[in-house]
Amino acid sequence: AQSVTQLGSHVSVSEGALVLLRCNYSSSVPPYLFWYVQYPNQGLQLLLKYTSAATLVKGINGFEAEFKKSETSFHLTKPSAHMSDAAEYFCAVLYGNEKLTFGTGTRLTIIP
Amino acid sequence: KAGVTQTPRYLIKTRGQQVTLSCSPISGHRSVSWYQQTPGQGLQFLFEYFSETQRNKGNFPGRFSGRQFSNSRSEMNVSTLELGDSALYLCASSLTGQGRVGEQYFGPGTRLTVT
């Protein structure tokens, strides 16, 4: 069965520092992979997606993620954190049947 | 273009009651999915409807049901509410087809509290 694991339920970084949120997937065939962001009291918003084209995917708000098949990973990064990046981030996997499976989420806190 | 709308935004019900939540997808989107979000279980897939037919279903009891109308609007119903049903219920719509796989657009959710 497909699944995703997000390492670290809480991550804190200083404003201006690198953001790195980890996601590993479990699938025998490379799936489609996604990162979503959820701000307080809101629904989820798609940040970026990997669909077997370029392995380095650029998304909105300066985020990007790199698909590494050998490591079964799809980590999310941003070179310089901004206060507005504080939110919960979800990695998700989709394979075949259009049913998204989400990770448990990582709450990102930005330290001024 | 208007986003996904969900009504009501907040709801308080008593154990044993039933509840109906509504979701209006983005115009032109024919797929609607429902998710339950709780602190303990995270985001869990309930079901997906496409052109009025249930296309996928998660592992939830039969008390959870849904339907989709010809205009793509969707409702989900929970009967005989339990305390554990307290959650944020999220609806997402999507355009299916090449290049759009997995691009789901979420509504703000309905916060259901069962007392």
Where does chain A have alpha helices with state H? none
Q: Is A105–B42 a contact, with Cβ atoms under 8 angstroms apart?
A: yes
| Neighboring chain B residues of A105 at a CB cutoff of 8 Å | 42-43
> Which comes out higher in pLDDT, residue A98 or B40?
B40
Closest CA to A100 of B72, B5, B87, B37: B37
Least confident of A41-45, A92-96, B23-27: A92-96
Transcribe B2-54 into DSSP letters: ---EEE-SEEEE-TT--EEEEEEPPTT--EEEEEEEETTTEEEEEEEEETTEE
Of A90, A99, A103, Cβ closest to residue B56: A99
DSSP A27: -
Q: A76 pairs with which residues across the strands?
A: A21, A65
Q: How many residues does chain A have?
A: 112
Closest CA to A45 of A60, A28, A64, A66: A60
| Neighboring chain B residues of A45 at a CB cutoff of 8 Å | 106
Residue-wise pLDDT tens digits, B16-33: 999 999 999 999 899 999
Closest CA to A103 of A112, A94, A111: A94
| Banded model confidence at residue B101, pLDDT cuts 50, 70, 90 | low
Residues whose CB falls within 8 Å of the CB of residue B96, separated by 6 or more in sequence, listed in order? A98, B30, B31, B50
Mark which residues 66-95 of A lie under 8 Å from B by CB.
90, 92, 94
CB of A42 within 8 Å of any CB in chain B?
yes
Least confident of A5-9, A108-112, B1-5: B1-5
Q: Is B92–A49 a contact, with Cβ atoms under 8 angstroms apart?
A: no
Q: How many residues does chain B have?
A: 115
**pLDDT value, residue B22:** 98
CB of B60 within 8 Å of any CB in chain A?
no
**pLDDT value, residue B55:** 86
Q: What is the mean pLDDT of residues B86-109?
A: 83
Report the C-alpha dihedral over residues A45, A48, A49, A55, rounded to 10 degrees: -170
Q: For residues A1 and B45, give the distance between their C-alpha atoms in angstroms, rounded to a whole number.
A: 14
